[in-house]
Amino acid sequence: MKALILIADGFDDLQLFIPWYRLREEGVEVTLASPSGKPVTGMHGYRVAAYLPIREVNPAEYDLLIIPGGDSPGALRLREEAVDVARTFMDEDRRVATVCHGAQLLISACALNGRHLTCAPEIRDDVRGAGGAYHDEPMIVDGNFVSCRGQDELPDFCRALVATLGVRT
């Protein structure tokens, strides 16, 4: 089982580290990809090394895509290679998980039409404008798509991730 996490500078530290380590606890191989493949810095100053640049990502090699929030999705949505990866996962109805502002990348990928999700309240109108069905809920599971409003809901989010992958809970 392999998961891909797309990150750029300004990622929300908790929204990266909690799902990343939770999946590792379950034996999931997790790959971090950044725009350049170089280390990136979170909102609270933590630096993490990416394993590869996004342009080298082959979506077919992964079972799950995770997009943490913070300022990272706003930067990723400006990178066509990141938009292409997100679009591929959504178009193929593969497992995708977003936290907080993570849905911004899916908006740019034109991949929310008819999908039910939650997100940071600040982008709910953008989600609706992109055709998504916004719900003011802590977490939403819509088929292979899991979305989470923010940090407070990360425990439920991680349980849902583990459940969608079919590994033990």
Rounded-to-integer distance, Cα 106 and Cα 93, Å = 13
Contact 152, 129 (CB under 8 A): no
Structural domains in the chain, sorted by start? 2-165 (3.40.50.880)
Q: For all residues of the chain together, what is the average pLDDT?
A: 96
Query: What is the tens place of the pLDDT at every residue in 33-88?
Result: 999 999 999 999 999 999 999 999 999 999 999 999 999 999 999 999 999 999 99
How many angstroms from the chain centroid is the CA of residue 69?
7
For the cut 60, the answer to whether the pLDDT of residue 169 exceeds it is: no
Rounded-to-integer distance, Cα 148 and Cα 159, Å = 12
In the set 44, 101, 116, 135, the catalytic residue is 101
Whether pTM > 0.85 for this model: the answer is yes
Lowest mean pLDDT among 72-86, 107-121, 128-142, 155-169: 155-169
Catalytic residue list contains 116 = no
For residue 136, what pLDDT band results from cuts at 50, 70 and 90? Answer: very high
For the cut 70, the answer to whether the pLDDT of residue 168 exceeds it is: no
Contact 38, 69 (CB under 8 A): no
Rounded-to-integer distance, Cα 101 and Cα 55, Å = 22
